[in-house]
């Protein structure tokens, strides 16, 4: 009898332990099926480097939503480039969707496409595109100025990195409320090292999207990013 | 008997506690001393501050012991606060600062602290975005340029190399609109330490600061 009691107690204990190991009972994010498109808000970032446009987005109303019931998201450009967003970095609480298309267009459309074929678009207009013009000389003994077409309506962030890192102090550049249209690297910005030094200049313009169209828009950052790589000499 | 022993131990402790720690340098080995020096070169000269302490704090220099300063080769009086801090205000703004601890009965010590070459900070006429400044270049010091003014947020730029000139990008320093008088400060600093007989015996900081004011209209 005692042996039977012990066995029952052991089985009960093991069952409790296994239950504890399973952890809490998570629920998958609720779906978009049946939610009105304007009640959903797109959040994330849309960016372009002038050749490729990317989007990283989530859908939210009172909670994050995952695409269900045959719903899909499609990113497209006026030149015909188009792609269905795919889920990425999914978790129990949030599902992110990403897509990339080859287009120079600063105007991009995101559509929620329902199973019945209805389409619910919103349009994102990125800041104006630009090109960074390299300095005419790449000697670190003279100032080097990289220029681009300024846009007075967009704040801009300029970052400068070097390889090897010992070539220069980090953090040259900065954030500008009014786009200056250029960055100058001076001899004093570089450590006194011999040999080549690779300098990477990144310029980013960013604004916030405003709601429009038939799909709700939350916080969406719209960015134009350009990068210039310079091989500098002493 | 036990009571007597206990009373004797208690009395010994009390007597030991009553004896003040040594206040005379003659009873302190040089090896047990610690020297800390701070130099700040400004437009009127150099602020010198040195503290020389023993294991129990300050002490008197006795028995012929002396602590002297030579600022750029010139003997300079060090004023003691009577505890352990020595100060001097020489008018020299650069050069080697030599601190000499001379002890007839123990090891002496000589410390030489180099400072950046003397310089003025000159601001050339600024543009709407750039403020060019110039100074005498140097090596071996951390060089920064700071900008302050009511019309911008301001900030500091640390140079990778002291070339003696730099154009400050005022557009990256948070302009608030409108013009004002800008104060630009060049700072060059160094810090170091020295060991004596394997012990960390001396530490120092040396700093040079120069400022210039310039009117700016963006």
Q: What's the pLDDT tens digit per position in A22-68?
A: 544 555 578 888 889 999 999 999 999 999 999 999 999 988 999 99
Q: What is the pLDDT of residue A46?
A: 97
Give the chain A residue whose CA is nearest to the CA of B164. Answer: A188
Q: Is A181 helix (H, G, I), strand (E, B) or coil?
A: coil
Domains of chain B: 21-113 (2.60.40.10), 122-216 (2.60.40)
> Would A231 be classed as within a structural domain?
no
Contact A58, A43 (CB under 8 A): yes
C-alpha span between A207 and A185 (Å, rounded): 26
Residues on A contacting B at a C-beta cutoff of 8 Å: 143, 168-169, 173-178, 180, 184, 186-192
Taking residues B85-89, report their average pLDDT.
96
Count structural domains, chain A. 1
> Would A114 be classed as within a structural domain?
yes
Question: What mean pLDDT is reported for chain B?
Answer: 90
The boundaries of the domain holding residue A75 are: 37-125
Q: Is B9 helix (H, G, I), strand (E, B) or coil?
A: helix
Report which of B209, B202, B49, B28 is spatially closest to residue B121, judged by C-alpha positions. Answer: B209
CA–chain centroid gap for B39, Å, is 3
Res A18 pLDDT > 60: no
Contact A188, B163 (CB under 8 A): yes
Contact B159, B137 (CB under 8 A): no
Q: What is the pLDDT of residue A140?
A: 93
C-alpha span between B212 and B187 (Å, rounded): 12
C-alpha span between B16 and B57 (Å, rounded): 18
> Would A60 be classed as within a structural domain?
yes
> Would A118 be classed as within a structural domain?
yes
Taking residues A98-125, report their average pLDDT.
96
C-alpha span between B123 and B116 (Å, rounded): 19
Return the CATH number at A100.
2.60.40.10
Whether omega before A19 lies within 30 degrees of 0, making that bond cis, reads: no
CA–chain centroid gap for A18, Å, is 40
CA–chain centroid gap for A203, Å, is 15
Instruction: Choose the closest CB to A191 out of B161, B172, B174.
Output: B161
Taking residues B119-137, report their average pLDDT.
96
Res B19 pLDDT > 70: no
CA distance A167 to chain B (A): 9
Res B214 pLDDT > 50: yes
> Would A138 be classed as within a structural domain?
no
User: A177 contacts in B (CB within 8 Å)?
Assistant: 174-175
Res B187 pLDDT > 90: yes
pLDDT band at A15 (very low <50, low <70, confident <90, very high): low
Here the tokens at position B191 are: 């810090």
> Would A164 be classed as within a structural domain?
no
Q: Would you call A124 exposed, middle or buried from its count of C-beta atoms within 10 A (0-12, 13-18, 19+)? A: buried
How far are the Cα atoms of A29, A203, B118 from residue A67, in angstroms, in the given order?
A: 9, 34, 69
Taking residues B145-172, report their average pLDDT.
94
């Amino acid at each position: 009898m005692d042996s039977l009691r012990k066995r029952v107690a052991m089985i009960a204990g093991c069952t409790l332990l296994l239950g504890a190991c399973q952890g809490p009972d998570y629920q998958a994010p609720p779906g978009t099926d049946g939610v009105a498109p304007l009640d959903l808000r797109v959040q994330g970032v849309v960016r372009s480097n002038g050749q490729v446009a990317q989007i990283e987005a989530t859908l939210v109303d009172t909670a994050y939503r995952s695409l269900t019931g045959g719903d899909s998201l499609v990113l497209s450009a006026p030149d015909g480039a188009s792609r269905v967003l795919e889920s990425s970095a999914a978790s129990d609480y949030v599902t992110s969707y990403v897509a990339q298309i080859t287009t120079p267009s600063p105007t991009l459309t995101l559509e929620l496409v329902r199973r019945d074929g209805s389409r619910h678009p919103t349009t994102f207009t990125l800041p104006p595109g630009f090109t960074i013009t390299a300095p005419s000389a790449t000697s670190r003994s003279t100032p080097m100025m990289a220029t681009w077409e300024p846009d007075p309506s967009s704040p801009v962030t300029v970052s400068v990195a070097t390889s090897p890192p010992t070539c220069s102090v980090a953090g040259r550049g900065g954030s500008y409320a009014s786009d200056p249209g250029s960055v100058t690297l001076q001899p004093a910005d570089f450590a006194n090292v011999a040999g080549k030094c690779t300098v990477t200049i990144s310029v980013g313009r960013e604004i916030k999207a405003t709601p429009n169209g038939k799909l709700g828009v939350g916080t969406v950052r719209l960015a134009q990013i350009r990068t210039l790589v310079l091989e500098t000499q002493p | 008997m036990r009571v007597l022993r206990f009373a004797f131990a208690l009395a010994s402790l009390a007597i030991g506690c009553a004896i003040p720690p040594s206040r005379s340098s003659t009873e302190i080995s040089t090896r047990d001393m610690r020297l800390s020096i701070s130099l700040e070169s400004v437009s009127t000269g150099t602020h010198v501050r040195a503290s020389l302490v023993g294991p129990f704090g300050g002490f008197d220099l006795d028995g012929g012991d002396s602590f002297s300063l030579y600022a750029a080769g010139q003997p300079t009086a060090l004023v003691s606060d009577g505890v352990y801090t020595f100060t001097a205000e020489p008018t020299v703004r650069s050069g080697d600062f030599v601190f000499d601890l001379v002890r007839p009965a123990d090891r002496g010590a000589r410390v030489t602290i180099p400072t950046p070459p003397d310089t003025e900070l000159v601001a050339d006429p600024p543009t709407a975005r750039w403020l060019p400044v110039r100074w005498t270049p140097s090596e071996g010091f951390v060089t920064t340029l700071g900008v302050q003014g009511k019309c911008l947020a301001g900030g500091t730029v640390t140079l990778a190399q002291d070339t003696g000139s730099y154009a400050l990008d005022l557009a990256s320093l948070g302009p608030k609109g409108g013009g004002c008088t800008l104060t630009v400060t060049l700072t060059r600093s160094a810090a170091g330490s020295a060991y004596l007989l394997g012990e960390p015996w001396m530490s120092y900081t040396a700093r040079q600061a120069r400022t210039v004011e310039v009117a700016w209209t963006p």
